[in-house]
Amino acid sequence: MTKTYRFTCIVCPLGCSIEVEVEHGKVKDVKGCKCPRGKEWASQEATSPRRVVMSVVHVEGGALPTVSVKTAEPVPKELIPELMKFLAGLKLKAPVEIGEVVAEWNGIKIVATRGA
């Protein structure tokens, strides 16, 4: 069974309209993108979409009540709600350095993007 996905590419501001044909879970054809990065992104988007996730985590004793964090690598899209619940339950103590790994979830590092 062939399925066609249509995306607006999010890799760069050009925003190419990309069509990906997927057969039995495998990418058969990618049309419409102007660069290899777009092709790679669209192929992944059609078969197993992933996102780098950003959020804030509560921190005690810092100058601000939160630090911003990101995942060190893209997370499968369907797992994002679960990750968000994990982050909502986290409580850190100052000091937190920017770039510090503040937690780990399913083997994915959570990195502070702001100090506190």
Partner 1 sequence: MFPGIPMLNYDVVVIGGGPAGMAAAARAKELGLNVLLLDENDYLGGILPQCIHPGFGLHYFREELTGPEFAARLAKRLVELGVEYRTAARVMEIRNYSDLEKVVIFTSPSGAYQAWAKAVIYAAGARERHAFEIGIVGDRVAGVYTAGEAQTLMDIYGVLPGKEIVIVGSGDVGLIMARRFALEGAKVKAVIELMPYPGGLARNVMILRDFDIPLYLSHKVVEVRGKGRVERVKVVKVDENLNEIPGSEFWIEADALIISAGLVPSVKKLTAIGVEIDPSTGGPVVNDRLETSVPGVFAAGNALLINDLVDYVAEQGELAAEGAKEFIENGGIESRKWIRVEKGENVRLLAPHRLSGERDVYLYLRVARPMEDVELRIPEVGKRVKLSLATPAEMLRVKLKAEEIRDAEKLTVEVVRE
Binding residues (CB under 8 A) for partner 1: these are 7-15, 51-56, 58, 63-66, 68, 70, 77, 80, 84, 88, 98, 113-115
Q: Computed over its alpha carbons, how large is the radius of gyration of the chain?
A: 18
CA distance 31 to 98: 40
CA dist 39 and 76 (Å) reads 18
Please, which residue, 24 or 39, has the CB nearer to partner 1?
39
Q: 94 vs 98, which CB is nearer to partner 1? A: 98
Helical (H) or strand (E) element with 45: helix 36-47
- Least CB distance from residue 32 to partner 1, whole Å? 13
For residue 77, the minimal CB distance to partner 1 (Å) is 7
> Nearer to partner 1 by C-beta: 29 or 88?
88
In the complex, least distance from residue 57 CB atom to partner 1, rounded to whole angstroms? 8
Could you tell me which of 22, 24, 18 has the C-alpha nearest to residue 6? Answer: 18
Shortest distance, position 83 Cβ to partner 1, whole Å: 10
Cα–Cα distances in angstroms (integers) from residue 15 to residues 41, 56, 91, in the given order? 12, 28, 38
| E strand or H helix at 26 | strand 26-31
Closer by beta carbon to partner 1, 24 or else 91: 91
